[in-house]
Amino acid sequence: MQIHEYASFDAIGLRDLIKAGQVTAAEVEAVAREAITIADAVLNGLALPPFDPALGHVADGPLAGVPFLIKDHGPVAEGVPFFLGSRALPGILAQRDTDLMTRFKVAGLVTLGLTTVPEMMLSFSTESLRYGPTRNPWDRDHGVGGSSGGAAALVAAGAVPLAHASDGAGSIRVPASCCGLVGLKPSRGRTPCGPDMGEPMLGMAYEFGLTRTVRDAAHLLDAVHGPGIGDKYTALEQAIPWHRRTPAFSVGRS
């Protein structure tokens, strides 16, 4: 698989290729690493060099083999340092996976890196002193919004088909609009916040992801939705999976 072929598929397209045996998960990961390295050199979307090896994951999950990135959001994945985009934090190691990170792993997502954010995630401009500005792949003279700016840049560039993001006042939706992506902020109680945060931003902030297609957002929500143990809020269980509510879309990008 070549980079231009890889970048033309969304997450479900890549998953289906792997399931059909047309390409292996290892081959997809190898080309994803190459794509991430090339894109990051131009866009500055990674907070750290790519993880080697990738974080552990379930090999037969519903999104098995799909490359993925997590946000420098705070303690997300066990053993991964976080900086919140600030020079004040030297890189504190997360002591455990968040409930959502556990679900990303169970879904089979292959986590390959940590993406940039504004300092303390308090700006809609991903241009921290720690990392420098993250560039927009559509026009490198423009920014990517924030706070999930590095995630948006690398998804929009085709380096990965989807990435972890979070939103309290627009941190998924703003970079999605800046980069031409699908940016869904889940409603309260739809995705878990624990175990270390029960009610971030007084219940206004929730975590999910950024994608290039609606069907990827729907499949990702199917894989990770539902409250965690001890969450203050819950949302009603859906009788019909989210991906069955969306129309069929072509595999590649236009």
Catalytic residue positions? 71, 147, 171
Measured CA to CA, the distance from residue 244 to residue 246 in angstroms comes to 6
Closest CA to 18 of 51, 49, 62: 62
Q: Say which residue the tokens 């219940």 belong to.
A: 203
| Element at 28 (helix H, strand E) | helix 25-43
CB atoms within 10 A of CB 254: 4
CA distances to 37, 160, 202, 225, 248 from 34, rounded to whole Å, are 5, 11, 40, 31, 30
Mention every residue, 6+ apart, whose C-beta is less than 8 A from residue 146. 117, 118, 121, 123, 124, 125, 126, 171, 174, 175
Count other Cβ atoms within 10 Å, centred on residue 247.
Answer: 6
Q: State both tokens at 100.
A: 């959502």
- Check if the beta carbon of residue 127 is closer than 8 Å to that of residue 45: no
85 neighbors 131 (Cβ within 8 angstroms): yes
